[in-house]
Each structure stands twice: as C-alpha cells, then as structure tokens.
Amino acid sequence: MPVPAFPPLPPGFLDRLSSILGPRNLLTGGDATAPFLTDERRLFPGAAAAVACPGSTAEVSALVRACREAGVPIVPQGGNTGLVGGASAPAGSLLVNLRRMNRIRGVDPANATLTAEAGTVLATVQEAARDAGRLFPLSLASEGSAQIGGLLATNAGGINVLRHGNMRDLTLGIEAVMPDGRVLHGLGGLRKDNTGYDLRHLLIGSEGTLAILTAAVLRLSPLPRQRVTALVAVSGAAQALALLDLLRDRAGEALVAFEFMVQATVAMLVEAGHGFPVDPALPAFVLFDLTSADPEAPLAAQAEAILARAFDGGIVLDGTIGASEGQNRAMWDLRERLPEVQKHFGPSIKHDIAVAVSRIPDFLSRAGAACAAAMPGCRIVPFGHLGDGNLHYNLSPPDGMAPADFLARQGDINRIVHDIVHDLGGSISAEHGVGLMKRAELARYKDPVALDAMRAIKAALDPANLMNPGKLLP
C-alpha cells in the first residue's frame, strides 16, 4: 500500500525548528540524515529532508505545534530497530528522533518503579534497575539500541513475556505530546486508577500514529539471585508443549522464558560455524530459564528433577543445564544470534505470528506442509517465544534460487501463512507491529468493527492526520 506523497516543507519551516531546537539538533543534508533514513531490514528507505532531535518534552511540544501550523507530517523514531517500516519517514515529513531525551528521571524502590525518558535505550534502563537492586525484565536481542519510546509504541515483547508480560504490562504510566501539541501528564506511577478511558493503553502500541511518547513509569521486579538455563531436545512442538505444561506445574512463577527452535533453524547456526551443546540433528529444541529471587532456593535441583521426569516420560530426548552464568549466557547468545545468522542464507520472508499456545503444533504442521508445497526446497526456520504462542515463522530461499525470485514470492507465502493463522484465530502481528509492511494484511484480517473504532479514534485525536500518516491503519 503506497504511503501518501506529501508536499515539500514550506519556506521558513526549518528556520523555525532550528530556533526551537538549536541548529545543532536539526540535522539536514544526506550524510547527517542517512543513518536515520535506513531501516534495520533495508526495506523501507526514508526520504525526509530533516531530522529533529528534541531534548525535552517542552521542545517536543513546540515542534508538534510548529508542524501542526505548517501542516507537516511527523514520524517519531527511537532506536530505528523496528522490522516493519514504522519509523520510515517519507519526503515532505519531519523525522523526530528522541535519542537526546535519554534521562532516567528517577527510581522509586518502594513503589518498584523507574521513570525514564522515551529516548533511553533499553539496556540503560535494565542497568539502572539493577543498580537499584531491581529488575526491569523486558529483554530482546535489540536491547542495546531499542528505546523506551519505540518499545512502548510497538508494545514490544521479547523473551520474558511468559513471566513478566510485554511492554504494556510493564508500564504504569506515560507522558506524551498529543497531536495538538499539548502534553498528556500520566507519570503518577499508580497501580489503581479507574477514572475513565485508559489513555496509557491506547497510546501503547499506537506506533506513533496518535502521539509522541516522551516518558514512562516502568514497573520493576525483584532482582533474580539465581538462574538456571537449560537447552533440551524434544521430538516436536507437541512435546515442547508437554514440557511447558510440566514446567509450569512444577516450577510455577520461576519459569520466565521458554523458547523453541526446530532442527532446520539450528542447522543454520551450525552451518554458520557455531557450536551447539546438544545433538543438532534432533528434531526440535527448547531453551528455558528458571529464576528465583531467593539465593537459597534449590533451583538447580528442582530443574534437574523436572527434566528427569520429562526424560522418563519421553518428553525430552536429551539436554544440558548451564553449569555457570557464562554457559547460560552462551546458550542465550545462540538464540539471539538467529536473526543475524539467517542473513547468511539470503533474504528472509518473515512472519511474526501468534496463536493460542495449544494451537502451535497444528499451526506448524499446516504452515510447514503448505509452504513446502508452494516453494519446494525452501528452508523453513521457525523460532521464538513458544511460551507466549508467538513464533517468528521465517523462510530462507531454496539452494540456487535468486534472491529477487525468492522475494517475488513474499506476497503469496504471506497469504498462505497468514490465512492459516487467521483460521486458527491468531494474530499476524504478535510483537513487531504493523508499520508499513502489514497494513494491507491488517485490512484483510482485522475485525472490521475494531478497524472502524481505530479509524474513529485516529480521526478524533489527529484530525489533520499528521502523526505518522500512512502507518498502521489501512
């Protein structure tokens, strides 16, 4: 679906922005703006003439008012790690990058909260929480670059959603600049507030189409003092689910992450030269973490007992438990390398799908058969957050297929996979958002009543359609 073409920036507009931000914080010219206009997947190049880097909420507010008066569309951007083109800024728009708004405004240990500005990188928030003796549990492979604003705007997930929830669950309040330039103040850090519509939840996941998020109150958890990481082989997704069930039953809240990979996915790691601590020829693998805030809890013994039971019951075929935190990290490193390693095998056709956890085996067998029939020899390499029912269902080209020929099939492969997801009552966008990439898919699969309500909300809050126009909403 094409992004609307916008008229050129009006005369004098950049001078006005420069007076708001200071000339150093308004980037113009190819070399300065290029890094902000190239997305992670190099699929959605931007062409905005200027990148504004505000340093405070007041500056964001002044910027938004200036854009509103001049009729200039705004594209908010964080770490630019998004995978669906949401932060891609077309010609005639203004790219607003939040990276200068990177202060931790405060930590409240008694309230178990931390307040961070939108441009704070996730790893910085994790570190600040650790320094305060607490955990900020959101964790994903892009955590060294992704920013709180981008994570909120896409309601990011990652590996610990199973235990701690996604960004929505981890946020107690937000501050945002609305399309009219006014500031929405919501940083009270309340756990209870039934005073009407919850605008926090409306703006989380809105992908920059309703407001620019400027700060958030984030929920902290007790710091884990022990972690047990295990990598085990299973004969398929049904056995992985049986293991999930057993772990939930026996370990309860200690289970924080439960990731799944199939043999073809692990084969890529091995072919790329990475060692794998379990026989990589086995059919499928689960990587899971148990943690405890209690340093005395017999966590390792508990994990061993659960795995022995799973082994005796034929659920687990083989496996290893990390003997040190270094080994734990090495196993997670293998998992986090997967998106990078897949690039060695040519372009990818990616899907970020969710179905009810119980329906994962059905999804995998139906999608696997359909994709193999549609493109014989393609490499089907799913991996991801099985404990949440969310898989990154990725394909790489068959040997010898030209990249362009492979990518030309993207539309029909998407249709095959997404039709199966829809038939199973699932979602075509579990955690990466819709952006530019999945707008047409949203029109096809989203409940029409929900779509109408979304359009009505957008029109009410942003009648001039200046907040990230052309993204998310079909």
Ligand X SMILES: Cc1cc2nc3c(=O)[nH]c(=O)nc-3n(C[C@H](O)[C@H](O)[C@H](O)COP(=O)(O)OP(=O)(O)OC[C@H]3O[C@@H](n4cnc5c(N)ncnc54)[C@H](O)[C@@H]3O)c2cc1C
402 to 461, contacts with ligand X by CB under 6 A?
A: 431-433, 435
Q: Does 213 bind ligand X (CB under 6 A)?
A: yes
Distance CA 381, CA 393 (A): 7
Q: Does 468 bind ligand X (CB under 6 A)?
A: yes
Tell the smallest beta-carbon distance from residue 340 to ligand X (Å): 7
β pairing state of 352-354 and 390-392: antiparallel
Distances (CA, A) of 376 to 278, 369, 392, 399: 29, 10, 20, 10
Distance CA 290, CA 242 (A): 17
- Tell me how many helices (H) and strands (E) the chain has: 16, 20
Side-chain-side CA neighbours of 23 within 13 Å: the count stands at 1
Query: What are the beta bridge partners of residue 27?
Result: 51
227 to 286, contacts with ligand X by CB under 6 A?
A: none
The 21-50 contact track toward ligand X, x by CB under 6 A, reads -------------------x----------
Encoded tokens for 178: 């609305």
Distance CA 97, CA 48 (A): 12
Which span (145-153, 228-236, 286-294, 341-349) binds ligand X, by CB under 6 A?
Answer: 145-153
Among 9, 49, 87, 278, binds ligand X (CB under 6 A): 87
Q: Does 76 bind ligand X (CB under 6 A)?
A: yes
Token pair 């009219």 is found at 180
Tell the smallest beta-carbon distance from residue 171 to ligand X (Å): 13
Tell the smallest beta-carbon distance from residue 274 to ligand X (Å): 16
Residue 82: other Cβ atoms inside 10 A: 29
Among 33, 57, 61, 81, binds ligand X (CB under 6 A): 81
Q: Does 341 bind ligand X (CB under 6 A)?
A: no
Encoded tokens for 75: 């594209």
Among 3, 49, 53, 98, binds ligand X (CB under 6 A): 98
Can you give the length of the chain in residues? 474
Distance CA 196, CA 268 (A): 50
Q: Does 205 bind ligand X (CB under 6 A)?
A: no
Q: Does 124 bind ligand X (CB under 6 A)?
A: no
- Which of 241, 198, 41, 156 is CA-nearest to residue 429? 156
Q: Does 339 bind ligand X (CB under 6 A)?
A: yes
Closest CB to ligand X among 167 and 299? 167
Our CA angle for 324, 326, 332, nearest 5°, is 110
**How many residues bind ligand X, per CB under 6 A?**
38
Tell the smallest beta-carbon distance from residue 195 to ligand X (Å): 23
Among 54, 82, 280, 322, binds ligand X (CB under 6 A): 82
Q: Does 162 bind ligand X (CB under 6 A)?
A: no
Closest CB to ligand X among 98 and 416? 98
Alpha-carbon torsion (20, 22, 28, 34), positive or negative: negative
Q: Does 347 bind ligand X (CB under 6 A)?
A: no
Closest CB to ligand X among 77 and 292? 77
The 101-120 contact track toward ligand X, x by CB under 6 A, reads -----------------x--
Q: Does 142 bind ligand X (CB under 6 A)?
A: yes
Among 156, 228, 240, 413, binds ligand X (CB under 6 A): 156
Report DSSP letters for 137-184, one per residue: --B-TTTTT-BHHHHHHTT--BTTHHHH--TTTTEEEEEEE-TTSPEE
At residue 114, the 3 state secondary structure works out as: strand
Binding-site ranges for ligand X (CB under 6 A): 40, 75-83, 86-87, 98, 118, 140-142, 146-147, 149-151, 153-154, 156-158, 207-208, 212-213, 339, 431-433, 435, 468, 471
